[in-house]
Amino acid sequence: MNQSALNGIKACVFDAYGTLFDVHSAVAQHTHRMANASIVSMLWRTKQLEYTWLRTLMGRYVDFWQVTGDALDFALDTHGISDSQLRADLMQAYLGLSCYLEVPEVLNELKSKDIRCAILSNGSPDMLSAAVNHAGLEAYFDAVLSVDGIRIYKPDPRVYQQAVDALGVDASEIAFHSSNAWDAAGADAFGFRVIWVNRFDQKAERLGTSVAAEIKDLSSLTGLIFS
């Protein structure tokens, strides 16, 4: 990484699901109740993302809570699971996803250095509020931004513009963090300086975009921002 790639950052914006919060922790709470739990969880996540893209292309927006439920129904049906109580419990668990272990310390350090922080997510406002409060992170964010107000999903540029408008800084002064390679690509195309939190050892997307830095988790973030 070019050491100057992150000079002059005034705000840090974070994707929520997969970046701050472990999307597989919902199923992890109920692994004893289903066979192939990890495969179910992976399919749930895959369909959740696919449905956001498909609904955006079709112009048929519904909020992320419904998308999440529809994706879960597909995953359960695919694996022959018809337990309505399990379905309800998994959806409830999604409101209390675990945050990754390093997240509170990193956010606290950013706050101590007067870096403004925000979440920018596909999640509905109620979902994001529940996740942030469950993890005890509410004091760290200047804004928690949802696509729900504009009724379109990432990686549409109008989603990323919300962070610029809310924080009152230029896109080039924002470090955007996502574990999702496609989201990192969308944010770079918009004009953010992107830190790809590659938690899952993904390969880079072939979309003609790049990132300012790639890290395994957020624990090394402050070293990059303040070097």
pLDDT on residue 227: 73
Contact 69, 91 (CB under 8 A): yes
Q: Is 89 annotated as catalytic?
A: no
How many Å apart are CA 15 and CA 199, to the nearest integer? Answer: 13
- The active-site residue out of 15, 148, 183, 188 is 15
Query: Hey, is 162 helix, strand or coil?
Result: helix
Phi (first) and psi of residue 72, to 5 degrees: -65, -45
Range list of H helices, 37-156? 37-58, 64-78, 84-94, 103-112, 125-135
CATH of segment(s) 3-22+98-225? 3.40.50.1000
The CATH-assigned architecture of domain 25-94 is: Orthogonal Bundle (1.10)
pLDDT on residue 7: 87
- Hey, CA dihedral for 175, 145, 101, 217, is it positive or negative? negative
Give 10-residue mean pLDDT values along the chain (227 residues): 72 98 97 94 98 98 98 98 97 98 97 96 98 97 97 98 97 97 98 97 95 96 88
pLDDT on residue 1: 47
Name the segment(s) of the chain with CATH classification 1.10.150.240.
25-94
Name the segment(s) of the chain with CATH classification 3.40.50.1000.
3-22+98-225
Strands lying side by side in the sheet with 11-14: 143-146, 116-121, 11-14, 174-178, 193-197, 213-215
pLDDT on residue 4: 56
Which residues is 40 bridged to in the sheet?
none
